[in-house]
Structures are given as structure tokens and as C-alpha cells.
A and B are shown apart, each in its own frame.
Chain A
């Protein structure tokens, strides 16, 4: 299980490929890999957004993410998991977060990655500040519930 905070841009596809290739213990064992990638939009709340800064609480972020992954491990038979999250200055179309979960069967992979992502949204100490097209800056006040449709 690995949790990573990136101050620079990252390529989620490369991260997953490199992680899977390096994890020899998984070879032949996993039948399902679930990936979630969150990417920055150029709009929010009806406004054009041209950039964003992601602040975090170094140390607590890693601690909370590791705890969330451990909670998921207690609920589902996870073979391995990778969580990568960006911090710093971000532009539209750049990836913000990657959650990858490897399991034997698909149900566990879907459910565990969903759990990790929703818990990250409500517990991991990150904060987004948007720069709008008008140059105004504003803090994103809260995350929405991902289970609500």
C-alpha cells in the first residue's frame, strides 16, 4: 500500500503501470484493478476557473490517507492499493488524485476504491483555492457527497 503527495504534475497512467510492474507479489494474484482519477475542471459553481492552488497539512495528510487505506483493507480483501494526490499550483486538465485498488474480484475493487475516494474527500486535509477567469480568488468551501445523485 502506498500513499504519495506530489508537488509537481504526475501522470496517473504511468504511476499505475510502474507500480503494478514493480509489485511482484501481485503477479498472477489480481483479477481486478479499479482506478479513479480526479482531474481539474475549467468550471465550478457556474464560473470559469483558470487555475487552482491546493494547500495541505503535511504529515496529517499522509497519516489520514494511510488510515483510510487501512480501513478499506479491513473491509475488503485488497491485494494492493496506490493513492497519489497533487498539491500546489494546478491547471485545468491536470490530474489531482489517483486511487488504484488491486483485488482478486471486481466487486471488492469497485467498492474499496469508492470507499477510499469518498473518505479522502471528507477527511484528508487538503484545501482548494480557485483563481477565476476574472482573476478573483476564492476558497472552495466544502466537498459534495459523492453518493448523492
Chain B
């Protein structure tokens, strides 16, 4: 079965990648790390990058499923 995954980027990461989102399709099982590697092949992983799936923090080994929104962003600096 083909999975559709929406990928979003924020703040300095969005600027350095030059885009705010990607739409990816996967066959089989994929983790959050796989999503990053597919979307940004060859790009080194920035330090301290955070990941969220459907707006909840996850670790990089979490499995994604069809329709998930995966987000990558630098440490947060609100308040």
C-alpha cells in the first residue's frame, strides 16, 4: 500500500532548505528518520532538530502512517 506523508519545516530550517513543505509517498514501513532522509537526501541532519507527527513530539524511530503530517524544526524559542 502506498502511504502519503506531508512534511513541514519551520523557522531557520525552512529558510536553509528553501521550502516549507514536501509531499512524499512511501511503500511499506517508514520511520521519521526515513522521512527526513527521503526528503533531504544527502543533507546533514542539523543539530538538535526536533520532530513531530500530527503535532505531537516524537522520537526519530517512530513509525509513520498514511496521511500523517511530519514536522521538523529547530529548538523552540517562544515566551
Contact = CB atoms under 8 A, between A and B. Distances in A.
Interface in B11-65: 11-12, 48, 52, 55-57
A117 B78 CA distance: 10
A97 interface: yes
Contacts of A97: 78-79
A22 to B, nearest CB: 25
Contacts of B52: 57, 60, 125
A122 B50 CA distance: 11
Contacts of A64: 55
Contact of B12 (A63, A85, A122, A127): A127
A51 interface: no
Interface residues of B, number: 17
A124 B74 contact: no
Contact of B78 (A63, A127, A129, A141): A127
Interface in A36-61: 38, 54-57, 59-60
A129 to B, nearest CB: 8
Tell me if A's interface is mostly helix, strand, loop or mixed. Answer: mixed
Interface residues of A, number: 28
Contact of A126 (B8, B48, B76): B76
A123 B10 CA distance: 14
B79 A127 contact: no
A122 B77 CA distance: 7
Given A55-B10, A59-B55, A126-B78, 18 more contacts: A38-B79, A54-B78, A57-B8, A57-B73, A85-B78, A85-B79, A96-B78, A97-B79, A120-B78, A121-B76, A121-B79, A122-B76, A125-B52, A127-B10, A139-B74, A141-B77, A142-B48, A143-B77
Interface of B: 8, 10-12, 48, 52, 55-57, 71, 73-79
The 3 closest A-B pairs by CB, nearest first: A126-B78, A127-B11, A60-B55
